[in-house]
């Protein structure tokens, strides 16, 4: 399908109006926080009658709650009652999988707050046994929920279709596994699954302080990849493989000379010289060495320059406002990201990079879990 709309931003045709406007109200409360019905009407452009009817329905569903009277500083007249997302009636279990089989889980509120963590001590087996182990973990996680479950969100490595089919996740031994359907049938809840880099992009978009609707999220771990949000839409691509920049060739025969990066290396995908071979966490640790020296700083800078060379065309095409890097902060901060940004600015028009910010993520290790929760919020309620 290629894209996944995340937010409702305008009114819709009459046949779609109620569902669309309902999402519009929820989206505003998610982004801005509690407001009175009158302020919701002004903010969304809907009539007061429409907003009152929508809020009444959302109160009945338990998706919002009344929070007392608003402050009336500088205003006259009767104080309105604040309405905000409910953190008591609904919750979202979320799971984060990694390439090495590690599993972590959390229960989150509708506003994205993590209430509790659950970590699995044993790595996920490969293949069908891994699916069974994941199912058991999800059952244990769901049993910890103390309110109604909106849906289960899962962040997983691999190429994943919009309907939750793991098309390929080699490190987990999964190929063409209809994971969302299997888990939903067994657990009795809606299941939403996306690639780990895409989930981190969703977390950055919703919680990371992104100023616009254009975002490129770079994720460095056992491998490396990217998630792309453009125009408020998560880009999936024609083959569900948008963002697989880790397997773009970053080194070739021209690097056999005096390049500080050395000779091109064999990648896990079977090709030689992929960006992942110099940008994975292990590769960056090898480049930095045990103690940071002038030589290791120069090497990290050279790696950042290659990354910037690959990202520059993406910046030129999509005119992104934010490039946010997640991974080992001590290795990404400094020469690597500085060289990356320098290359992007050198290789693109000023108009393309005028508003660009290249920075580290501030969300920490829970970004995959929070992004998986946003996946559920977007799929079930149309908010992100």
Task: Identify the CATH number of the domain in which residue 47 sits.
Answer: 1.10.10.10
- Please tell me which residue, 291 or 70, carries the higher pLDDT value: 70
Supply the pTM of this predicted model: 0.89
Residue 192: strand pairing partners: 153
Distance between the two ends of the chain, CA-based, in angstroms?
19
Q: Report yes or no on 10 lying in a domain.
A: no
Q: Report yes or no on 362 lying in a domain.
A: no
The verdict on 216 and 193 lying in the same domain is no
Choose one of 36, 58, 85: the last residue of a domain.
85
Q: Report yes or no on 13 lying in a domain.
A: no
The verdict on 94 and 37 lying in the same domain is no
Q: Report yes or no on 328 lying in a domain.
A: yes
Local confidence band at 14 (pLDDT 50, 70, 90 cut-offs): low
The verdict on 288 and 318 lying in the same domain is yes
Q: Report yes or no on 205 lying in a domain.
A: no
Q: What is the mean pLDDT of residues 370-381?
A: 96
In 289-366, which ranges are continuous DSSP H helix? 294-318, 329-332, 335-347, 350-353
**71-128 residue pLDDT tens:** 665 555 567 899 999 989 999 999 999 988 899 999 999 999 999 999 887 889 999 9
Asked whether the predicted pLDDT for residue 1 surpasses 50, the reply is no
Q: Is 215 helix (H, G, I), strand (E, B) or coil?
A: strand
CB proximity list for 147: less than 8 A, separation 6 or greater: 88, 89, 90, 91
Asked whether the predicted pLDDT for residue 265 surpasses 80, the reply is yes
* Domain, as residue range, for 129: 90-200+367-381
Q: Report yes or no on 2 lying in a domain.
A: no
Contact 1, 234 (CB under 8 A): no
The span from the CA of 379 to the CA of 156, in Å, is 17
For the chain, the average pLDDT equals 90
Choose one of 85, 120, 141: the last residue of a domain.
85
Give the per-residue pLDDT at 260: 75
Question: What CATH number has the domain bearing residue 281?
Answer: 3.30.420.40
The span from the CA of 160 to the CA of 287, in Å, is 31
The verdict on 251 and 333 lying in the same domain is yes
Q: CA nearest 91: which of 382, 377, 340, 384?
A: 377
**16-60 residue pLDDT tens:** 788 889 999 999 999 999 999 999 999 999 999 999 999 999 999
The verdict on 347 and 245 lying in the same domain is yes
Q: Report yes or no on 132 lying in a domain.
A: yes
Q: How far is CA 194 from CA 152, 356, 362, in A?
A: 12, 26, 21
| Cβ neighbours around 265 below 10 Å, total | 14
Fill in the DSSP letter of residue 163.
Answer: T
The verdict on 226 and 135 lying in the same domain is no
Q: Report yes or no on 54 lying in a domain.
A: yes
The verdict on 229 and 348 lying in the same domain is yes
**Chain-centroid distance, C-alpha 85:** 21
The verdict on 239 and 301 lying in the same domain is yes
Computed from CA positions of residues 193, 196, 202, 208, in that sequence, does the dihedral angle turn out positive or negative? Answer: positive
Q: Could you give the number of structural domains in the chain?
A: 3
Asked whether the predicted pLDDT for residue 235 surpasses 60, the reply is yes
Local confidence band at 257 (pLDDT 50, 70, 90 cut-offs): low
The verdict on 195 and 217 lying in the same domain is no
Give the per-residue pLDDT at 99: 87
**171-212 residue pLDDT tens:** 899 999 999 999 999 999 999 999 999 999 999 999 998 888
The span from the CA of 331 to the CA of 382, in Å, is 37
The verdict on 236 and 340 lying in the same domain is yes
The verdict on 328 and 225 lying in the same domain is yes
The verdict on 268 and 185 lying in the same domain is no
Find the helix or strand (DSSP H, E) in which 8 lies.
none
């Amino acid at each position: 399908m290629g894209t996944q709309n995340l937010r409702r931003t305008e009114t819709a045709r009459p046949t779609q109006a109620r569902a669309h406007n309902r999402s519009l109200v929820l989206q505003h409360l998610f982004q801005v926080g509690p407001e009175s019905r009158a302020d919701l009407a002004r903010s969304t452009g809907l009539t007061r009658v429409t907003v009152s009817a929508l809020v009444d329905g959302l109160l009945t569903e338990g998706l919002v709650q009344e929070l007392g009277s608003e402050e009336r500083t500088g205003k006259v007249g009767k104080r309105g009652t604040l309405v905000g997302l409910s953190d008591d009636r609904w919750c979202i279990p979320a799971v984060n999988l990694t390439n090495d089989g590690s599993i972590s889980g959390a229960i989150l509120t509708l506003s994205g707050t993590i209430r509790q963590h659950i970590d699995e001590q044993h790595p996920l087996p490969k293949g069908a046994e891994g699916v069974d182990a994941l199912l058991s973990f999800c059952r244990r996680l769901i049993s910890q929920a103390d309110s109604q479950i909106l849906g289960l969100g899962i962040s997983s490595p691999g190429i994943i279709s919009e309907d939750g089919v793991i098309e390929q996740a080699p490190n987990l031994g999964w190929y063409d596994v209809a994971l969302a359907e299997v888990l939903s049938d067994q657990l009795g809840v809606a299941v939403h699954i996306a690639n780990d880099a895409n989930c981190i992009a969703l977390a950055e978009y919703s919680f990371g302080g992104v100023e616009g609707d254009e975002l490129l999220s770079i994720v460095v771990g056992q491998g490396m990849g990217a998630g792309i949000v453009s125009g408020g839409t998560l880009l999936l691509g024609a083959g569900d493989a948008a963002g697989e920049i880790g397997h773009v060739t970053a080194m070739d025969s021209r690097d056999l000379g005096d390049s500080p990066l050395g000779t091109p290396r064999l990648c896990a995908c079977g090709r030689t010289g992929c960006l992942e071979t110099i940008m994975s966490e292990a590769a960056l640790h090898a480049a930095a060495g045990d103690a940071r020296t002038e030589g290791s700083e120069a090497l990290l800078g050279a790696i950042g320059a290659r990354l910037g060379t690959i990202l520059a065309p993406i910046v030129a095409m999509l005119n992104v406002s934010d490039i946010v890097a997640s991974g080992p902060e001590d290795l990404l901060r400094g020469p690597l990201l500085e060289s990356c940004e320098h290359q992007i600015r050198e290789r693109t028009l000023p108009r393309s990079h005028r508003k660009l910010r290249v920075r580290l993520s501030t969300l920490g290790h829970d970004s995959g879990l929070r992004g998986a929760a946003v996946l559920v919020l977007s799929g079930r309620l149309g908010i992100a």
